[in-house]
Structure 1
Amino acid sequence: MLDFITWTADPAIFSIFSREIRWYGLFFAIGFLIGYQIEDKIFKHDKAPEGWVDKIFIYTIIATVIGARLGHCLFYGWDYYSQHPIEILKIWEGGLASHGGAIGIIIAILIYSKKVTHKNPLWAFDRLVIPTALVGALIRMGNLMNHEIYGHPTHLPWGFRFIENITAWRQGMEPIFSAPSHPTQIYEALCYFIIFLLLMYMYWKKNAGQRQGLIFGVFLVGVFFSRFCIEFLKNNQEEFEENMILNMGQLLSIPFVIFGIYLIIRALKQPIDTGAIIYKKH
């Protein structure tokens, strides 16, 4: 039996008028479509006014794309993008950071809560993060298809040999394979999917939506602590991280984990909010 997996997936599914349709974009879109359906059921269960779910969907998509792009440019490539600001707009060339996306969503939900729900933002966060965990899992599978964000060499039997010269290989050159490496994209995807199942269980079976901030807190701790741990196995994304004890992904994860722990403790100390699922339509 082989002691490694040679990964030769093409990042593109097909092309339309010279424009590639990529697995990454497809997984991203599928995640949002499924996420919308889940969110719609949650909002209907809570008897929220019509239109709230459509608006949170729009706010979230815009915030995710803008936040993830700016996060990549600011956290991982500021030396370059500060000198070439127009390049920030070229999102189709790649470069998204999940921490930036998370910050963008937080800002968007604060605005959404003020303008739409007129409720504590934790109400929206508790409901939004449930499908968000699933979207995160699908995005990491997109990273797998792109041969990117993988880990250190490993002797484990599930090590993947990724194509390092993916662009040149797609132009007809012979592939240059990495050493068998940790498929950290799969590790993260599995963690996020388990978190998604946990949050669904908490909301539908344990009525955790009545404890303001509890689901959001579990999401933050689960996702970003998983990310923090897996980063120890992952190759650094930028050269400046080589001399750091903790890389940028880990440093950015710590505040989210701390805030998540605070929300969990706070939620468990607060009385149950029985009004969280009772609304009258406007």
Structure 2
Amino acid sequence: MIPYPQIDPVAFSLGPVQLHWYGLMYVVGLTAAWWLGRRRAHCLGLTHDDIGDLIFYGAVGIIIGGRLGYVMFYGVDQLLTNPLWLFKVWEGGMSFHGGLVGVLLAAWLFARRHRLAYLQLTDFIAPLVPIGLGAGRLGNFINHELPGRVSDLPWAMVFPPMMGLGPEPRHPSALYEFGLEGVVLFSVLWWVSRRPQWSAFISGLFLLLYGAFRFSVEFVRLPDPQLGFIAFGWLTMGQLLTLPMMVAGVLLVITSHRRQRAMVVSSAR
């Protein structure tokens, strides 16, 4: 068993203003995406200023989509009780799936403005995202969020009593997601995207891998307490929302492969 590290969720304070590590992780993710995007801006014929605009579009999509997604998927009852709770983002509550929808809409607007093919742009964006995902999971861990289920594995952790959990050691599920959604997903996408790929392949690979990683970790992560298991005694809301991602990812990868094969056959004639 490994002791849960005692890290203050507040990074530092400036008088009455507190800056949390979780908020800093958003800055880390957006900064990393901006830096990586500038390195490959020439691939789309974009300038460094265009990349700054793209990151701004994405940030707005993440914040609005992430918050609305959390409220719709996980907090409808609380919203009906107190509609102003929708705007209390400082209390936490962001959904990856809602943020993804927000980013996809933001990318559509950006693609229209710059006359880019939509899937070409999402292929460009996909490898920029995982560092932010990984940083966010570290923020969850520091913020005492996403506890795992009880485990007797040697790296299981006893979570802080403030989380209302017992003394049993549990999976550090946020760290699993940091490793898979952050480190592994970035490594794969960045490596694969070093060479030109057929349109939609990188986007599909992102959806498929993230979906598989998230679906798997949900088996060792506690379901959201306000929802519990939503079907079959094991299916969580996170898994339900992830299923369409995996289906879309498979379809995009297959479509891209078929286009590539058709072009090869056509060229050989």
Give me the TM-score of the superposition, normalised by structure 1.
0.86
Residue deviations 1:128-163 (CA, integer Å, cap 9, x gap)? 111111110110000000111021011111111111
Counterpart mapping for 1:1-282 below 5 A: 3-49=1-47, 51-114=49-112, 116-165=113-162, 178-192=167-181, 193-204=183-194, 206-208=195-197, 211-242=198-229, 244-245=231-232, 246-271=235-260
**Could you tell me how far apart the structure 2 residues matched to 1:182 and 1:100 are?**
25
Residue deviations 1:182-229 (CA, integer Å, cap 9, x gap)? 01111111112111111111111x322xx1111111111111111011
**Could you tell me how far apart the structure 1 residues matched to 2:221 and 2:259 are?**
38
One-letter amino acid of the structure 1 residue matched with residue 92 of structure 2: G
Q: Which residue of 2 aligns with 1:169?
A: none
User: Which ranges in structure 1 are unaligned for 5 or more consecutive residues?
Assistant: 167-174, 273-282
**Could you tell me how far apart the structure 1 residues matched to 2:249 and 2:58 are?**
20
Contact 1:147 1:164 in 2 (8 A): no
**Could you tell me how far apart the structure 1 residues matched to 2:45 and 2:115 are?**
15
**Could you tell me how far apart the structure 2 residues matched to 1:29 and 1:40 are?**
16
Contact 2:38 2:48 in 1 (8 A): no
Q: CA deviation at 1:265?
A: 0.7
- Partner SS for 1:15: strand
**What's the % identity of the aligned pairs?**
26
- Partner SS for 1:239: coil
**Could you tell me how far apart the structure 1 residues matched to 2:257 and 2:170 are?**
41
Residue deviations 1:82-113 (CA, integer Å, cap 9, x gap)? 23211101101111111110111111111221
CA RMSD of aligned residues (A): 1.8
Give me the TM-score of the superposition, normalised by structure 2.
0.90
**Could you tell me how far apart the structure 1 residues matched to 2:225 and 2:91 are?**
17
User: Which ranges in structure 2 are unaligned for 5 or more consecutive residues?
Assistant: 262-269
Q: Which runs of 4+ in 1 moved over 4 A?
A: 175-178
